[in-house]
């Protein structure tokens, strides 16, 4: 530690300076959040002190009140935020205010890089912490004295540009006092009324008294410890906004207490929007862990299963040892018990919502279904409940409506052993493909899967109530024998067999088997995978995930002997084999397109020209070889 009494100049870590440049130059409209950030730091410092007082005997200035004092001076244009919390040593000043050590700013920089530099809109969402003071400050001074007995006082000063300095400061009490000297265009932040409004908005639930120019502005409220029946909706919403640092209204809330097997008070929220869906990357666990109002960890990893990381709120348990460290928490049997209890309660809550308010649940599922799916595929303990909470569209639902596995089974035909699904980008793309028609013709329900995770879930779950999940593009499905309604005359069986053999020659190595299909109704042909595990959907996914995926697998081709095009090809091959070959190639490639398996669409272009030529030649002969008649046709 330095003993010099001269100011020492330090350079900010490069990342801090990068952040400061954005903050200083931002025209960000919500500059007022700097108040929230500094107050939350003061509150953190007090909480940490309370924690320390319970485990340490010697704390400097032990009798100071646990409060935050804010003073405004509209002549000097300053605002001062002062707390009697843990304070900082000289080394801690360097570490905490000179480097990016904390998660909020790190996440901000990360998001900034990913967003390509749109800093301003991100500041509010991440809270850039202490550095937000530089949105409004010409200069910031931090006077501080650590709680440890043998320390002395320090003053940290910076104008935000490149460097800061640290010098000894005599006569400091414990804690920190932050003096913000406002920029010329930020004078309003030295007005008491303005600051009172900001404090109301952001800091109502801070656990310590906040005095503004000597007058208390907040009422201390640990909402989760109060009786449910006495809490108003607005209070919950306000608490949510504070606890989750959020701007939306919560979609669901679950407030509950229990005494056994563990004493627990908990207030959980589901946000309105899913930030992962909005592209912000994986979110940190958002339910904070308290013991008797003392914060243990804001983002405890072990408190809830991974798939519940979207929850926000507070869990408070008296049974937790206060001095539990973040590291040992992972293994704590007590935290695991809390985890099981919370998960069980939340799942029960969702089940009830799904039953009582299915529309609201469906909307929840549209936003947060990803997490339920992740849970169903990975959390064996809760698999059954999670599976029941899954929802999908199907050919029997309206577009946008969802149905459950239970409902599917209740509608299934007698003797139907499988639960069918088809993957595709959209309802339209699934319904325009050739795979659905066999199921439609037999009145079988097929789930529509739109997201890659869906198929992953099906493969992991394997079955539901004794019925196996089966992709409708799988080649070994046993559909019942009742033939689909004929759409016309069919080729005779021996003709079909000949045709298939001939097509096999034309297509060569690209296909394993060609057979007349039972599935087809309106399409001339479809491809199925020769390898039964590797459905076209699976192949598509493998390719999307791995560019080098070695796709040597052959396909089987099913042709529809009832389809007029197939019947025409059968006769054409005797009169104009060249054209019949072209048509066969094109039918095959079309089927590959429908399966999403066509690698190189360019070869189609050339072939289509050839086909067009043949067609126009043919048309030319029927209009007595008069070129130009076709153009005139439209006008007559």
Q: Footprint of ligand ADP on this chain (CB under 6 A)?
A: 37, 41-42, 44-45, 83, 85-88, 96-97, 102, 104-105, 129-130, 176
Residue 210 or 470: the one with the smaller Cβ distance to ligand ADP is: 210
Q: Kind and range of the H or E element at 8?
A: strand 8-11
Question: Under 8 Å CB-to-CB from 541, ≥6 apart: which residues?
Answer: 452, 455
Report how many residues bind Mg ion under the rule CB under 5 A: 2
The residue number whose beta carbon is nearest to Mg ion equals 129
Token output for 108? 């901000």
Considering the complex, what minimum distance in angstroms separates the CB of residue 60 from ligand ADP? Answer: 14
85 binds Mg ion (CB under 5 A): no
> Which region among 33-41, 253-261, 581-589, 592-600 touches Mg ion (by CB under 5 A)?
33-41
- For 331, half-sphere exposure in the C-beta direction (CA atoms, 13 angstrom radius) is 3
Of 474, 483, 515, 481, nearest to 498 by C-alpha is 515
> Which region among 87-95, 125-133, 134-142, 357-365 touches Mg ion (by CB under 5 A)?
125-133
Considering the complex, what minimum distance in angstroms separates the CB of residue 424 from ligand ADP? Answer: 44
Which long-range CB contacts under 8 A does 151-155 form with residues at least 24 apart? Answer: 151/60, 151/87, 151/89, 154/88, 154/89, 154/90, 154/93
Considering the complex, what minimum distance in angstroms separates the CB of residue 141 from ligand ADP? Answer: 13
Residue 189 or 208: the one with the smaller Cβ distance to ligand ADP is: 208
Check: CB of residue 559 under 8 Å from CB of residue 517: yes
Opening angle at CA 271, ends 270 and 277, nearest 5 = 110
Task: Return the residues of window 238-277 that contact Mg ion according to CB under 5 A.
Answer: none
Residue 87 or 313: the one with the smaller Cβ distance to ligand ADP is: 87
Task: Return the residues of window 572-601 that contact Mg ion according to CB under 5 A.
Answer: none
Considering the complex, what minimum distance in angstroms separates the CB of residue 164 from Mg ion? Answer: 17
> Which region among 128-136, 215-223, 351-359, 460-468 touches Mg ion (by CB under 5 A)?
128-136
Residue 39 or 195: the one with the smaller Cβ distance to Mg ion is: 39
Token output for 490? 């069919």
Considering the complex, what minimum distance in angstroms separates the CB of residue 369 from ligand ADP? Answer: 31
Considering the complex, what minimum distance in angstroms separates the CB of residue 39 from Mg ion? Answer: 9
Q: How many residues does the chain have?
A: 636
Residue 290 or 420: the one with the smaller Cβ distance to ligand ADP is: 290
Considering the complex, what minimum distance in angstroms separates the CB of residue 85 from Mg ion? Answer: 12
Helix, strand, coil share of the chain (percent; to 5): 45, 20, 40
Among residues 85, 129, 175, 484, which is the contact residue for Mg ion, using CB under 5 A?
129
CA-to-CA distance for 231 and 238, rounded, in angstroms? 11
> Which region among 46-54, 122-130, 179-187, 293-301 touches Mg ion (by CB under 5 A)?
122-130
Considering the complex, what minimum distance in angstroms separates the CB of residue 301 from ligand ADP? Answer: 17
Considering the complex, what minimum distance in angstroms separates the CB of residue 144 from ligand ADP? Answer: 7
Token output for 131? 């550095």
Q: Could you tell which of ligand ADP, Mg ion, none binds residue 394, using a CB distance below 5 to 8 A set by kind?
A: none
Q: Could you tell which of Mg ion, ligand ADP, none binds residue 594, using a CB distance below 5 to 8 A set by kind?
A: none
Of 195, 210, 201, nearest to 239 by C-alpha is 201
Q: Kind and range of the H or E element at 265?
A: strand 264-270
Q: Could you tell which of ligand ADP, Mg ion, none binds residue 20, using a CB distance below 5 to 8 A set by kind?
A: none
Residue 129 or 561: the one with the smaller Cβ distance to Mg ion is: 129
Question: Under 8 Å CB-to-CB from 604, ≥6 apart: which residues?
Answer: 586, 589, 598
Q: Can you say whether the dihedral through the CA atoms of 188, 191, 193, 195 is positive or negative?
A: positive
Check: CB of residue 335 under 8 Å from CB of residue 302: yes
Of 211, 212, 210, 207, nearest to 223 by C-alpha is 207
Residue 175 or 561: the one with the smaller Cβ distance to ligand ADP is: 175
CA-to-CA distance for 333 and 336, rounded, in angstroms? 5
Question: Under 8 Å CB-to-CB from 170, ≥6 apart: which residues?
Answer: 152, 153
> Which region among 121-129, 202-210, 363-371, 405-413 touches Mg ion (by CB under 5 A)?
121-129
Considering the complex, what minimum distance in angstroms separates the CB of residue 539 from Mg ion? Answer: 49
Residue 70 or 461: the one with the smaller Cβ distance to ligand ADP is: 70
The residue number whose beta carbon is nearest to ligand ADP equals 129
Check: CB of residue 220 under 8 Å from CB of residue 65: no
Residue 40 or 496: the one with the smaller Cβ distance to Mg ion is: 40
Q: Could you tell which of Mg ion, ligand ADP, none binds residue 88, using a CB distance below 5 to 8 A set by kind?
A: ligand ADP
Check: CB of residue 407 under 8 Å from CB of residue 432: no
Q: Could you tell which of Mg ion, ligand ADP, none binds residue 470, using a CB distance below 5 to 8 A set by kind?
A: none
Question: Under 8 Å CB-to-CB from 380, ≥6 apart: which residues?
Answer: none
Residue 163 or 515: the one with the smaller Cβ distance to ligand ADP is: 163
Considering the complex, what minimum distance in angstroms separates the CB of residue 129 from Mg ion? Answer: 4
Residue 15 or 193: the one with the smaller Cβ distance to ligand ADP is: 15
Residue 87 or 300: the one with the smaller Cβ distance to ligand ADP is: 87
Residue 86 or 341: the one with the smaller Cβ distance to ligand ADP is: 86
Site string for Mg ion, 35-54 (x = CB under 5 A): ------x-------------
Considering the complex, what minimum distance in angstroms separates the CB of residue 43 from ligand ADP? Answer: 9
Considering the complex, what minimum distance in angstroms separates the CB of residue 110 from Mg ion? Answer: 17
Q: What is the DSSP letter of 511?
A: E
CA-to-CA distance for 287 and 295, rounded, in angstroms? 11
Residue 42 or 583: the one with the smaller Cβ distance to ligand ADP is: 42
Q: Kind and range of the H or E element at 197?
A: helix 192-203
Residue 104 or 250: the one with the smaller Cβ distance to ligand ADP is: 104
CA-to-CA distance for 239 and 250, rounded, in angstroms? 10
Considering the complex, what minimum distance in angstroms separates the CB of residue 177 from ligand ADP? Answer: 9
CA-to-CA distance for 172 and 58, rounded, in angstroms? 18
Considering the complex, what minimum distance in angstroms separates the CB of residue 100 from ligand ADP? Answer: 9
Of 275, 38, 245, 280, nearest to 124 by C-alpha is 245
119 binds Mg ion (CB under 5 A): no
Q: Could you tell which of Mg ion, ligand ADP, none binds residue 96, using a CB distance below 5 to 8 A set by kind?
A: ligand ADP
Q: Could you tell which of Mg ion, ligand ADP, none binds residue 86, using a CB distance below 5 to 8 A set by kind?
A: ligand ADP
Q: Is 362 exposed, middle or buried (CB count within 10 Å of its CB: 0-12, 13-18, 19+)? A: middle
172 binds Mg ion (CB under 5 A): no
Q: Is 34 exposed, middle or buried (CB count within 10 Å of its CB: 0-12, 13-18, 19+)? A: buried
Binding site residues, Mg ion, CB under 5 A: 41, 129
């Amino acid at each position: 530690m330095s003993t010099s009494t001269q100011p020492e100049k330090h350079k900010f870590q490069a990342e801090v300076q990068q952040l400061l440049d954005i903050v200083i130059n931002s025209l960000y409209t919500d500059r007022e959040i700097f108040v929230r950030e500094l107050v939350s730091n003061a509150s953190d410092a007090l909480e940490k002190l309370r924690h320390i007082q319970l485990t340490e005997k010697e704390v400097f200035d032990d009798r100071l009140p646990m409060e935050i004092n804010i003073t405004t001076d509209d002549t000097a244009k300053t605002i001062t935020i002062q707390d009697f919390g843990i304070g900082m040593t000289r080394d801690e000043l360097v570490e905490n205010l000179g480097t990016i050590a904390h998660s909020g700013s790190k996440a901000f920089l990360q998001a900034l890089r990913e967003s390509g530099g749109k800093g301003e809109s991100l500041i509010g969402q991440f809270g850039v912490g202490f550095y937000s003071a530089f949105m409004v400050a010409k200069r910031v001074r931090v006077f501080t004295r650590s709680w440890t007995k043998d320390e002395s006082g320090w003053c940290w000063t910076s104008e935000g540009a490149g460097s800061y300095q640290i010098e000894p400061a005599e006569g400091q009490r414990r804690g920190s006092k932050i003096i913000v000297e406002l920029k010329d265009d930020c004078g309003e932040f030295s007005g008491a009324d303005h600051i009172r409004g900001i404090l109301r908005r952001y800091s109502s639930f801070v656990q310590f008294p906040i005095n503004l120019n000597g007058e208390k502005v907040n009422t201390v409220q640990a909402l989760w410890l109060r009786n449910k029946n006495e809490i108003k909706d607005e209070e919950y919403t306000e608490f949510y906004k504070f606890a989750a640092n959020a701007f939306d209204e919560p979609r669901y809330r679950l407030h509950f207490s229990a005494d056994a097997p563990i004493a627990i008070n908990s207030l959980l929220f589901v946000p309105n929007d899913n930030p992962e869906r909005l592209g912000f990357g994986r979110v940190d666990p958002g339910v904070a862990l308290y013991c008797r109002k003392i914060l243990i960890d804001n983002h405890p990893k072990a408190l809830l299963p991974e798939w519940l990381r979207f929850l926000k709120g507070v869990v408070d348990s008296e049974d937790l040892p206060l001095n539990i460290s973040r590291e040992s928490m992972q293994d704590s049997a007590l935290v695991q018990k809390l985890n099981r209890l919370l998960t069980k309660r939340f799942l029960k809550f969702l089940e009830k919502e799904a039953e009582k308010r299915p529309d609201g649940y469906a909307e929840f599922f549209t936003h947060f279904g990803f997490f339920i799916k992740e849970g169903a595929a990975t959390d064996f303990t809760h698999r059954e409940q999670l599976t029941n909470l899954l929802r999908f569209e199907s050919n029997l639902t309206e577009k946008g409506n969802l149905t459950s596995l239970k409902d599917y089974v209740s509608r299934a035909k007698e003797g139907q052993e499988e639960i069918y699904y088809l993957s595709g980008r959209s309802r339209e793309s699934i319904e325009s493909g050739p795979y659905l028609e066999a199921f439609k013709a037999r009145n079988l329900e097929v789930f529509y899967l739109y997201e890659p995770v869906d198929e992953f879930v099906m493969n992991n779950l394997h079955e539901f109530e004794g019925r196996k999940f089966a992709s409708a593009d799988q080649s070994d499905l046993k559909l019942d024998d009742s033939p689909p309604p004929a759409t016309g005359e069919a080729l005779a069986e021996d003709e079909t067999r000949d045709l298939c053999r001939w097509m096999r020659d034309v297509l060569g190595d690209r296909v394993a088997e060609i057979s007349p299909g039972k599935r087809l109704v309106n399409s001339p042909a479809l491809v199925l995978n020769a390898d039964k595990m590797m459905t076209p959907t699976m192949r598509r996914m493998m390719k999307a995930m791995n560019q080098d995926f070695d796709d040597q697998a052959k396909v089987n081709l099913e042709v529809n002997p009832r389809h007029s095009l197939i019947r025409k090809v059968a006769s054409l091959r005797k009169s104009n084999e060249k054209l019949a070959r072209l048509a066969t190639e094109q039918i095959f490639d079309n089927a590959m397109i429908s399966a999403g398996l066509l690698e190189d669409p360019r070869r189609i272009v050339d072939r289509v020209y050839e086909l067009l030529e043949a067609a126009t030649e043919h048309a030319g002969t029927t209009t007595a070889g008069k070129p130009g008649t076709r153009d005139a046709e439209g006008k007559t």
